[in-house]
Amino acid sequence: MKVLCLSQNPLPDSRVEKSGLTASKAGHSVFFAGPGADPAYNNDGSFEKIFTLPFSRCANLGIPPDWNRLKKKFSELLGNVKPDIIHAHNLVAGKLALLSGRQYIYDDHEFWSLILKAARRMKWYHGLTQPYKRWLARRREDQVLENASGVIVISEQMAEYHRRKNPHVQVVPNYPLKAESLGLEVGSEKPGVLSSVYVGSDCSQPVLAPYRDVSGLLDIFRKNPAGKLTVIGDGKLVGLSPVYSLGMLPHAEMMMELTKHHIGLLPWKKHWIHSYANPNKPYEYAHAGLLNLIISDAEPVINTLGNHARTFNNYEELRKILIDYSENMGQVSGLKNTIRNFALDNLVWEKNEKRILTLYGA
């Protein structure tokens, strides 16, 4: 079977790559089509060929001539590849797959209609553009869901929402590949200062997304004996003890860095969209042996991690928890191997591969 992984985002993209690897291991011929790939991207063999399509902001919004050009190039590509099924990642790719008239599955790991509903208006012209974007996303989402042969989502809460339009929904969370984790060396915690880590680019940014609001997080460490914080992925953040910034790191290097800490943070302030979200960072923390501290409305993550995570309702509670752990390090010592073994047994991509292949009809 020929499988075309179609995405509006360029490579590298972890979820797209893992989906391609799953199909390739099952014996299918797998191709990728999207905006292209970063020059440093190393194709691990998942994709037999990578095709570039002219995605752009105007094309994604369905505005001619960009949208028409994108459709034409995609049609030409289909004539050459002749895929048996399209694995469409996110909404614009789903719309293209729908228009192609070919069989497709829709992989919705961003939930665009709700993200746009939750987005904060930052520029004056957003008052004009955001209503159109929301209308377009809802309209496209209904069409894509109703006509897909199957749907893949990241949480059971999203699955329940989408089953109103399509009964063939499978839940595939963003777990790491087992092979990615097996190379990690996770030893016992070293004595010393409590060390927390956050992976994200939100600390130095204005609150562009209210569901990723971390305003005030750094002050917990700067103004309290709460240990130290290392931020990974925020190139604009200037680190100053006890807050340290490592900027962007390659994924393998980031995973090794995580093993050096005690606590992994999901410190977003409460937002209604968290009940649908299922980010990958808590599972990466778990594979590194870190105890997760998670905002209490992140239900999909909390239900998955169980007693390998601790929740908090607000930053005052988080502050108290961190100070308590900092003063009583014995509470977090000895947890690394237990948490890591739980992750290796339960939180790996391979456990859900059959759900994807089922939708392929394989």
Per-residue pLDDT, 317:
98
Q: What is the C-alpha to C-alpha distance for residues 3 and 104, in angstroms, rounded to an integer?
A: 9
The larger pLDDT score, comparing residue 325 to residue 125, is at 325
- Element housing 96 (H / E): helix 91-100
Q: Tell me what percent of the residues of the chain surpass a pLDDT of 70.
A: 91
Our CA angle for 330, 309, 354, nearest 5°, is 135
pLDDT tens, 230-273? 999 999 998 899 999 999 998 889 999 999 999 999 999 999 99
Give the E-state strand segments of 143-227 in sequence order: 150-153, 169-171, 195-199
Q: What is the C-alpha to C-alpha distance for residues 72 and 360, in angstroms, rounded to an integer?
A: 26
Burial (0-12, 13-18, 19+ Cβ within 10 Å), 235: exposed
Per-residue pLDDT, 245:
96
Domains, the chain, ranges and CATH? 2-175+349-360 (3.40.50.2000), 178-346 (3.40.50.2000)
Per-residue pLDDT, 135:
64
Per-residue pLDDT, 361:
85
The DSSP bridge pattern shows strands 104-107 and 29-34 to be unpaired
Q: Mean per-residue pLDDT for 322-346?
A: 94
- What does DSSP assign to residue 48? S
pLDDT above 70 for 208: no
Q: Using 50, 70 and 90 to split pLDDT, how confident is the model at 117?
A: low
pLDDT tens, 118-138? 565 544 344 556 676 776 778
Q: Tell me what percent of the residues of the chain surpass a pLDDT of 90.
A: 77
Output the average pLDDT for the chain. 91
- What does DSSP assign to residue 123? S
Per-residue pLDDT, 122:
47
Our CA angle for 329, 330, 336, nearest 5°, is 90
Per-residue pLDDT, 207:
67
Structure tokens at 103: 């069989």
Q: Of 109-123, 235-249, 289-303, which range is least confident? A: 109-123
